[in-house]
A and B are shown apart, each in its own frame.
Chain A
Amino acid sequence: MTQPIELKGSVMSFTVLKVHSDDIGQVQHALAEKVQQAPGFFQNVPVVIEPTVTALPPTFLAQLMEILRQNGMMPIGLRTQDEAIRQQAEFAGLGIFDIETGKRARAERAKREKGESCAAAPGKLVLKTIRSGQQVYAKNRDLVIIGSVNPGAEVYADGHIHVYGALKGRAFAGAQGDETARIFVSRLEAELVCIAGLYILAEDIPPAIRGKAVTAFLQNEKVEFSELP
């Protein structure tokens, strides 16, 4: 029998969508016009997004992906050097392409990965409620929120997540796969709790633990909860 899967390096060609505006309405309009000119041409076309503007609004990528899908295209990746946008891409589930190709990019990345450890960095601190449609990401560190995470909001950290308020939205700790990451909340009313990619949905959270101050952690590949003392 042959192997069930096989990984191969290859160079494929994509349609690159350069985005010159940070106004999602404008972009949506322009896209719709383009697609209208040749509707068949864009059907199921894989698209790599390349923003030429920086400081995109936090939900820009997510909105753009939705618009692309509505127009029949398939967003698969992002090409940018902008760290903030790359972070958006990671949790939007987009692949990241470097703009400089080949050795240099790889060398850079290796340097980055080997470089600064996150141990010394203090957690990312947010002093307000995260509202519906907003996302916050603490890269390589913990996330501390003094406020609530409202329904429809998402918070991510590569380390632990602390919510000194109610967690009503979604929380993703250990976003890069750290299975020892935990989530601490003053009041658990979450839509979803996820640690290192393993998640539990609202309906599966034990009723006895709802509304309580709890910590969530991984045990035997399952998200478990215990009440805080």
Chain B
Amino acid sequence: MSRVIVVTSGKGGVGKTTTSASFSMGLALRGHKTAVIDFDVGLRNLDLIMGCERRVVYDFVNVVQGEATLKQALIKDKHTPNLYVLAASQTRDKDALTKEGVGQVIDGLKEMGFEYIICDSPAGIEKGAQLALYYADDALVVTNPEVSSVRDSDRILGILQAKSKRAEEGMEPIRENLILTRYNPERVEEGEMMSWDDIVELLGVPLLGAVPESEDVLNASNAGVPVILHEGSPAAQAYEDIVARYLGEERPQRFLTAEKKGLLKKLFGK
């Protein structure tokens, strides 16, 4: 049995691709055969974050249009034999993807025995984002703790519930999970950002985990290594937790509260 997981947000630049890369790496490292697809046609960057951009010969669009086979287009990850990347095309325009074509690719991946198929959605709520979520069984809704991001996540949840295949065919609804990224408890406490409990209350979706704001994310993506592999980094621990919880492990939430400042720090500031 395979599961199709869409990583989506509505708003751009909130951490979908970062999350797709680390989440799929985390699943693969635990022994699950995983494929991750970049739906952001025209703005290829999953392959950069995964560090395989120089090995892209054929891409997702080539497969959808029948110009290459899935086998030819799947790029095997350097770190684990369980992970494969299907890159987006930089040269085609967004209309190159069709519902039928995407469906065939996903069926093909299922036949090849992939347990998890991760779909890295483009930003927005229009065609590209709708295609990325159409075949999903599960959704990871990525949100930053700010009003506009939460609002967009709310919109995308409405679309998940109305325009996905599961919704259209009256099947059991998509399982929704919330991932808060770039979470900064200090700024939340100072009232500059929305708190996690307000966000969960508004969206009505269970929190899978929070990823703290961390410089390691940018460094990792510059190095072409998913941040989950960055040992000792809080962002890596957060994604590790998220993968474990997704697979059913109980782990207490972390990174949601600010560390208590010592008396000296309190007196002399940060």
Contact = CB atoms under 8 A, between A and B. Distances in A.
B126 interface: yes
Contact-residue bracket for chain B: 10 to 19
Given A57-B163, A129-B204, A152 B155 contact: yes
B57 interface: no
A168 interface: yes
A176 interface: no
Interface in B83-128: 95, 125-127
A144 to B, nearest CB: 18
A211 to B, nearest CB: 12
A178 B104 CA distance: 53
Contact of B158 (A23, A132, A151, A168): A132
Interface string A3-27: 0000000000000000000011110
Given A23-B127, A25-B127, A133 B155 contact: yes
B227 interface: no
A134 interface: yes
Contacts of B95: 29
B42 to A, nearest CB: 14
A57 B155 CA distance: 13
A24 B157 CA distance: 18
A100 B1 CA distance: 54
Contacts of A168: 202
A131 interface: yes
Contact of A25 (B126, B158, B204): B126
A70 to B, nearest CB: 14
A88 interface: no
Contacts of B158: 131-134
Given A132-B155, A133-B155, A150 B202 contact: yes
Interface residues of A, number: 17
A25 B262 CA distance: 54
A148 B202 CA distance: 8
Contacts of B126: 24-25
Interface in B142-163: 147, 151-152, 154-155, 157-158, 161-163
Nearest to B126: A25
Nearest to B152: A132
Contacts of B152: 132
Nearest to A152: B151
Nearest to B204: A129
A26 B131 CA distance: 14
Interface in A123-160: 128-129, 131-134, 148, 150-152
A152 B156 CA distance: 13
Contacts of A24: 126
Contacts of B157: 131
Given A25-B126, A25-B127, A57-B162, A132 B204 contact: no
Contacts of A128: 161
Interface string B196-231: 000000101000000000000000000000000000
Contact of B155 (A26, A129, A131, A148): A131
A25 B163 CA distance: 14
B154 A132 contact: yes
Contact of A151 (B127, B151, B162): B151
A151 B163 contact: no
Nearest to A25: B127
A128 B127 CA distance: 25
Contacts of B202: 148, 150-151, 168
B96 to A, nearest CB: 13
A156 to B, nearest CB: 17
Interface in A1-53: 23-26, 29
**Which of B126, B127, B154, B162 neighbours the largest number of chain A CB atoms within 10 Å of its CB?**
B154
Top 7 nearest A-B pairs (CB, nearest first) are A131-B158, A132-B154, A25-B127, A133-B155, A132-B155, A131-B154, A25-B126
16 contacts: A25-B126, A26-B127, A57-B162, A131-B154, A131-B155, A131-B157, A131-B158, A132-B151, A132-B152, A132-B158, A133-B155, A148-B204, A151-B147, A151-B151, A151-B154, A152-B154
Interface of A: 23-26, 29, 57, 128-129, 131-134, 148, 150-152, 168
